[in-house]
Chains A and B, each alone.
Chain A
Amino acid sequence: EAGVTQFPSHSVIEKGQTVTLRCDPISGHDNLYWYRRVMGKEIKFLLHFVKESKQDESGMPNNRFLAERTGGTYSTLKVQPAELEDSGVYFCASSQLGFEQPQHFGDGTRLSIL
């Protein structure tokens, strides 16, 4: 089966610009998660979708971040306008429903804000 795919793998933009990250989960996985890792620190939770609904968005830093998952398939994470502190690696993960189900991760998008 195809794994979780993320696009782009790298993005370099200037402060104030807009960037949209995309995640395609494993087919059939209703859970979709976004995480961010900044400069070797811990992987921080951003938000969790169950199908197309936001289950938990408590980790979203501020209203410059907007996540969508229309139709319950792929998801996008938009940052507008980007700030320097938004730099980091953004990971997407998906899993089947069920408490013990492990999350399957994409390779991440490395975002650099200049």
Chain B
Amino acid sequence: AQSVTQLGSHVSVSEGALVLLRCNYSSSVPPYLFWYVQYPNQGLQLLLKYTSAATLVKGINGFEAEFKKSETSFHLTKPSAHMSDAAEYFCAVSDGNDMRFGAGTRLTVKP
């Protein structure tokens, strides 16, 4: 069975500050890992994915995530937050069959 834990249901940063959203996973097989973002009243959009190639994955809107097998982590970062980054972010793990999501982290960006 696979699962995802996102540490922190709410994260608040100032505009221009570093964004760090934490995700730890559990999987019995080498996982595929994803980050999705959801803006209000919209569906989830793919930010980036890890599929066993490079451990540092770059996504859209300046986000990136690093796969660390020893820590079973896949944290999402962005060097400088923008107001438009305010949204809810979901980490997800797939074992090749089905995908399981974390509870989400709501990011607030203060001016």
Contacts and interface: CB of A to CB of B under 8 A. Distances in A.
Interface of A: 3-4, 33, 35, 40-45, 48, 55-56, 91, 93, 99-100, 102-108
Given A42-B103, A99-B32, A102-B34, A91 B97 contact: no
Nearest to A45: B98
13 contacts: A33-B98, A33-B99, A42-B102, A43-B101, A43-B104, A44-B101, A99-B32, A99-B51, A99-B94, A103-B99, A105-B43, A105-B44, A108-B43
Nearest to B101: A43
A56 to B, nearest CB: 6
A45 B43 contact: no
Contact of A100 (B32, B36, B42, B101): B32
Interface string B5-20: 0000000000000000
B103 A56 contact: no
Contacts of A105: 36, 43-45
B46 A42 contact: no
Interface string B55-83: 00000000000000000000000000000
B51 A42 contact: no
Nearest to B48: A102
A46 to B, nearest CB: 10
Contacts of B43: 3-4, 91, 105-108
A35 B90 CA distance: 14
B98 A99 contact: no
A42 B101 contact: yes
A106 to B, nearest CB: 5
B99 A100 contact: no
B34 A48 contact: no
B22 interface: no
A107 B46 contact: no
A99 B96 contact: yes
Given A42-B103, A43-B90, A102-B34, A91 B44 contact: yes
A107 B38 CA distance: 9
A34 B32 CA distance: 19
